[in-house]
Structure 1
């Protein structure tokens, strides 16, 4: 692990800190709170001076702090997009803290109405509630406004609005995979990269996105706060919370392929200190894919209790029942061992007609927030989630379809269960040491995951089924297909527990009014416990072959932030994340985690009073100890065991991300972004089994782009008319599998894919409390593919129509 840059920056910070006492003799500081007229904290409100270029934004609890202020009299201003600016005259004394509080003229309900206009909301999952300009990391937020205007139902459609993020795979038609900065996330199960309300969630069966308050993305390494997560991105789905004013919305969505989707959202007070919210939806739809259908029920109830002025308790739950047709895509032809995409209709379905994938998922969480005072806050989170999946159908066509399209289908019966438990404690504090301001976070988290997988025998008339039937994916009429469902009997159950534990601390230190340093360190431990195997025939229990494995790693982060004005921030940072390895070294010892180093620089701007944001970031990510198959054994003899590895490989990811978001008025907003990535193998052993040096990694487009514009007319005869347009671009990339030296067969395992763009047009009308919105997506009927490995080759959706009729109350 290379620490030259972070060590240098830490030493620089310590040197500055060591001279801090003298600074206190010349400067003072200001702290305070901003609340609404009904006493609720007003978060992310802009605080600044009329006379000098210096400012900040309030934290989630409404508190703010300004340091390094010269002695004198100033006019302090409070502003928020769409609200009336307030001013107060204050006097600052050297070495003293001046306290000033503001009360907005608007109440919470009115503030929410203004806030709903905005689309450039801040990311709340950073645990430390850092202001956007103080966060040395590129982020992205898809707000409820965008989700509603684009009529989004799936997480993948929401993430297309974030620069550098792309939907790259749909595994078996029941799960999504996303790519950013050269790394993929989203494989079904609690892999640790997708969160709901800040805790790990299982994403099997597609999470419900239409009812979300927002979708947040942290790009790059977030290991400091979240442990073993991807170096590309992590995603947080934020559900809607209770409100103390009564209201809600009912809507009906309908569209192509018999889509019907009613949604109900009701909220309000149950008592003076108790509020509720219930969000629910039902979805019934067919698909542009033959045979495929969807039936879903989702309910999300929540309660918010205010225990006095300083403590709130939020209880949230949700239930998802998702019955999907598993879809193996259109398959690929094995032509001279190359995987070729077949020339078949976009609708071609090659699974059995009776295939099913049924999911039941229940989630519950409890959040307790306690403010000791204006500067110190404790947050405690506990959550539990249970996910059960039962599925049956044809096994995937894993490169075993003949060149003429013939495929002998086998069957796959699965039954899995996963229980996830999370505990999290965070202490946030703001304080001064001399003239230096601190925004401190100290916390710990613990995650327990217990998964169970059943093994089945499949029989028909008492005979084991190895080959179910034969079809031809080019001509489904060539052979007579079977329609019976063979018996499947569970014979064993494997239980696989694991735990993840972490302790972390982070401090944002304001050295001057323009210079800040963020330093942090996390210790993580991940334990994979030896599996147990229960024989369901005789109830005998045995242990798995792999021993319990414990991995630990340190994850530092250091960043230097320079803010020449209160609207502009430059940052440079170092952080790392770690990946867990399987296998052993040449001495037979379990492999340690690989440390991935990331360097990032960028600039963030909040212009026109926050109505326009412009951000640019550049990154360099290196995994310099990628585990590869070892060349020789400990005795010097050639190694032929793929489980024996050594840290001789390397991958490098370089890229650029650009975001431009505008809320130019309450009637007009736009979102645009661009991402470039070059992820490749930069060092390999060039031995048999190792990857090809210089080859791009699969499922990583070089270029991505997004653009959305919506305008609502509020004058003339066309008052209430809404018009919108969106465009999304995914660049050229490889599907399939990366090649290795000496592979058999020698032909390329990559599947080249061209870039593609889709365009959507929307139009709607609102009259008082009733609104109608319609959209035509992929208006050019573009055809391209999402590929998982070499089997799940999924055509993108064709031109489709969807409309939503809503009533707000």
Structure 2
């Protein structure tokens, strides 16, 4: 399991000179700060949107922040569930990957980042070493390259620093959940701090036969000479093993089939393994100018062998035609980035400048095969899949997908006066994608150049109120959408131009109650053009057609409303539609799988010592399942609550997820968990 630890340590030690010669990429790192009030989870600055630490009010786009520790108090550990209530975000559970839409467009494969490094590929990402999640709404290509346009998700990891305390935690809960976390942060020298975070959890599921096992370890070290030079080294290893739950769609089953009945083979498995290493070296020449050199390497593997699908036959009362799939795949990203930031004054105008150079290499190497007709028929009321699996032979698909890119990003936050600011920027990127079919030897490539602009203006009519308007554009080239790949078939149709995403956004960001409470409200109009689709009857025929548009309003708030009382939440109302499509019956329809309304509201009572409590609701609206908008998943509301007791260094928390024990469906085949309990205890030192 830990065979690669020495290799990762060597990579970190040599990260500077070796990676520079190897031409890799890494996007911006979010600066982590400590709020004076430990219960106030608002970050003092964010950098996901600008790659420089700025106040949220100085960013002319919507940014929502999720505190991971708050979610994990309720026993929520997966990324999708954590993001369910974020306005404009729809999460659909899938055993293979984090399936997430932002403002109606998928962010599952190319728009999830860890510390600014693209975390691409079909994989489930853990949250045990994540401090917080920043969700930037709208196109982000000006700083991060290709993207779907709906937005991006940046997971900010826990890292060595000179202020955080150490802690240990243990937890037990429903469905045989047992886990624990060790987080050791120590200042070992005036200039050196080290941190080791480790987490382990075993759990079954409310679904019979489904279980999981998570393991994570992340050492990091930071050197700061307190005279402008800072160097962070970090390595993270994570393994998520599980029996995957991929049953038949519930629409095909009788309504009285128990939701706890799963249909996995006892030998089914799926395992995601990640190795993530980074080096962040920065130097401040003076209070106004600094440079940062970031190098990152990520290796993610997903291996599985499991049953899925099938058709329920009312005449026999059995499920037939289950498929068996096997896959071994590897995703590798190596990247380097050089940022120069500084302040300057010209003609009485103040400039906060960023010049970024970036290079990146990615590779996806999947080997897979499927078998039909091997699995026996299943009675959904009494599922049994005990049979001997046959050995796998050679893969039926074996491809090698690669990409390279180099880019130059320029950004300027111009201050005209205390009331007026403007943020302008652009990114020039050269990219190349290549795919090789290792079974046939066929190989094709696709390359191009794209410019991604962004412009926004901010006006402070009052000291605590900021009105803004912005325009941004992103691109998704052929080969870089969804799972990275090029069609090697000689008849494949390539796009003449990349798919483009354009957004107009208008909003108001406010601070209330002497800055203790923050709110933001926004209206946006986001469109996607030049969409490439596959013919439904001929897999070798593709069309470049259509326009999709999402319009909506979002509101969010976070902060303290009274002594010891805190609130967080928000709501979204969106209309993601297919505007133009030459195929009949599609134009004017709502996009499938996207909730048009969602949100959450949590209230927390948290004095410094003694009893604390929190309760809240998460709402997800209806989602259409078919292009014709005739089938849909019902909306649901989930009520969660917790209570605990704490003294200065220790605390005990009892939480209940789905207090009302409501039955609801998160996807076409997977129900939400019934009432679930978790008891945790932690000690800080």
Question: Do both proteins adopt the same fold according to a TM-score greater than 0.5, normalized to the shorter chain?
Answer: yes
Give the alignment of 1:550-561 within 5 angstroms: 550-561=447-458
Q: Of the candidates 776, 784, 798, which is equivalent to residue 656 of structure 2?
A: 776
Q: Distance in 1 between matches of 2:621 and 2:146?
A: 29
Give the alignment of 1:697-716 within 5 angstroms: 697-714=591-608
CA gap of 1:523–1:476, structure 2 versus 1, over 3 A, is same
Name 2:374's counterpart in structure 1.
468
TM-score between both structures, scaled by the size of structure 1? 0.75
Please say if residues 333 and 405 of structure 1, whose CA atoms lie closer than 8 Å, have aligned partners that are also in contact: no
Name 1:732's counterpart in structure 2.
622
2:517 paired with 1:612: yes
2:394 paired with 1:483: no
Please say if residues 586 and 646 of structure 1, whose CA atoms lie closer than 8 Å, have aligned partners that are also in contact: no
How far off its partner does 1:244 sit? 2.8
2:256 paired with 1:256: no
Give the alignment of 1:142-157 within 5 angstroms: 142-144=66-68, 146-147=70-71, 149-157=73-81
Give the alignment of 1:219-618 within 5 angstroms: 219-244=137-162, 247-307=165-225, 309-332=227-250, 343-397=256-310, 400-403=311-314, 404-456=317-369, 466-476=372-382, 481-491=385-395, 493-533=398-438, 543-545=441-443, 547-581=444-478, 590-618=495-523
2:66 paired with 1:183: no
Please say if residues 581 and 591 of structure 1, whose CA atoms lie closer than 8 Å, have aligned partners that are also in contact: no
Partner of 1:696, secondary structure, is coil
Name 1:55's counterpart in structure 2.
none
Please say if residues 455 and 493 of structure 1, whose CA atoms lie closer than 8 Å, have aligned partners that are also in contact: yes
How far off its partner does 1:380 sit? 1.3
How far off its partner does 1:564 sit? 1.4
How far off its partner does 1:291 sit? 0.3
Please say if residues 585 and 645 of structure 1, whose CA atoms lie closer than 8 Å, have aligned partners that are also in contact: no
Give the alignment of 1:740-751 within 5 angstroms: 751=631
Give the alignment of 1:199-238 within 5 angstroms: 199-202=117-120, 206-238=124-156
Aligned residues: 645
Q: Distance in 1 between matches of 2:182 and 2:64?
A: 27
Q: Distance in 1 between matches of 2:42 and 2:122?
A: 29
Q: Distance in 2 between matches of 1:251 and 1:669?
A: 24
CA gap of 1:350–1:694, structure 2 versus 1, over 3 A, is same
How far off its partner does 1:586 sit? 11
Please say if residues 309 and 321 of structure 2, whose CA atoms lie closer than 8 Å, have aligned partners that are also in contact: no
CA gap of 1:670–1:200, structure 2 versus 1, over 3 A, is same
Q: Distance in 1 between matches of 2:530 and 2:304?
A: 38
How far off its partner does 1:764 sit? 0.1
2:684 paired with 1:804: no
Superposed CA offset, 1:452-476 (max 9, x none): 122458xxxxxxx642133235333
Please say if residues 331 and 341 of structure 1, whose CA atoms lie closer than 8 Å, have aligned partners that are also in contact: no
Q: Distance in 1 between matches of 2:414 and 2:374?
A: 65
Name 2:640's counterpart in structure 1.
760
How far off its partner does 1:662 sit? 2.1
Name 1:128's counterpart in structure 2.
52
Superposed CA offset, 1:377-419 (max 9, x none): 211111111122221121433xx44344431223211111222
Name 1:795's counterpart in structure 2.
671
Please say if residues 498 and 530 of structure 2, whose CA atoms lie closer than 8 Å, have aligned partners that are also in contact: no
Superposed CA offset, 1:661-685 (max 9, x none): 2223562211020001101111222
In terms of mean alpha carbon deviation, does 599-608 or 497-506 score higher? 497-506
How far off its partner does 1:780 sit? 1.4
How far off its partner does 1:447 sit? 2.3
Q: Distance in 2 between matches of 1:297 and 1:115?
A: 31
Larger gyration radius, structure 1 or structure 2: 1
TM-score between both structures, scaled by the size of structure 2? 0.88
Q: Distance in 2 between matches of 1:589 and 1:760?
A: 48
2:569 paired with 1:676: no
Name 2:588's counterpart in structure 1.
694
CA gap of 1:408–1:128, structure 2 versus 1, over 3 A, is same
Superposed CA offset, 1:233-262 (max 9, x none): 211111112133584111101100010011
CA gap of 1:481–1:645, structure 2 versus 1, over 3 A, is closer
Name 1:36's counterpart in structure 2.
none
Q: Distance in 1 between matches of 2:251 and 2:83?
A: 31
Superposed CA offset, 1:1-22 (max 9, x none): xxxxxxxxxxxxxxxxxxxxxx
Partner of 2:617, secondary structure, is strand
Superposed CA offset, 1:169-223 (max 9, x none): 122x24221222111222xxxx321111111124755322244211111011111
Q: Distance in 2 between matches of 1:440 and 1:371?
A: 14
Q: Distance in 2 between matches of 1:307 and 1:660?
A: 38
Give the alignment of 1:23-38 within 5 angstroms: none
CA gap of 1:734–1:453, structure 2 versus 1, over 3 A, is same
CA gap of 1:765–1:572, structure 2 versus 1, over 3 A, is same
Give the alignment of 1:155-166 within 5 angstroms: 155-166=79-90
How far off its partner does 1:590 sit? 4.4
Please say if residues 247 and 308 of structure 2, whose CA atoms lie closer than 8 Å, have aligned partners that are also in contact: no
How far off its partner does 1:560 sit? 1.6
Partner of 2:325, secondary structure, is strand
Q: Distance in 1 between matches of 2:233 and 2:437?
A: 34
Partner of 2:80, secondary structure, is helix
CA gap of 1:590–1:694, structure 2 versus 1, over 3 A, is closer
How far off its partner does 1:641 sit? 5.8
Superposed CA offset, 1:532-552 (max 9, x none): 51x6xxxxxx5335x111133
Q: Distance in 2 between matches of 1:768 and 1:586?
A: 68
Q: Distance in 2 between matches of 1:239 and 1:548?
A: 35
Root-mean-square deviation over aligned CA pairs: 2.8
Please say if residues 333 and 401 of structure 1, whose CA atoms lie closer than 8 Å, have aligned partners that are also in contact: no
Please say if residues 246 and 269 of structure 1, whose CA atoms lie closer than 8 Å, have aligned partners that are also in contact: no
Name 1:653's counterpart in structure 2.
550
Q: Which runs of 5+ in 1 are unaligned?
A: 1-59, 63-107, 335-339, 458-464, 536-541, 631-638, 740-747
Name 1:26's counterpart in structure 2.
none
Partner of 1:471, secondary structure, is coil
CA gap of 1:392–1:767, structure 2 versus 1, over 3 A, is same
Please say if residues 85 and 620 of structure 2, whose CA atoms lie closer than 8 Å, have aligned partners that are also in contact: no
Q: Distance in 1 between matches of 2:555 and 2:623?
A: 20
Q: Distance in 2 between matches of 1:341 and 1:526?
A: 50
How far off its partner does 1:135 sit? 0.3
Partner of 1:156, secondary structure, is helix
Give the alignment of 1:30-109 within 5 angstroms: none
Partner of 1:328, secondary structure, is coil
How far off its partner does 1:556 sit? 0.9
Q: Which runs of 5+ in 2 are unaligned?
A: 1-28, 480-486
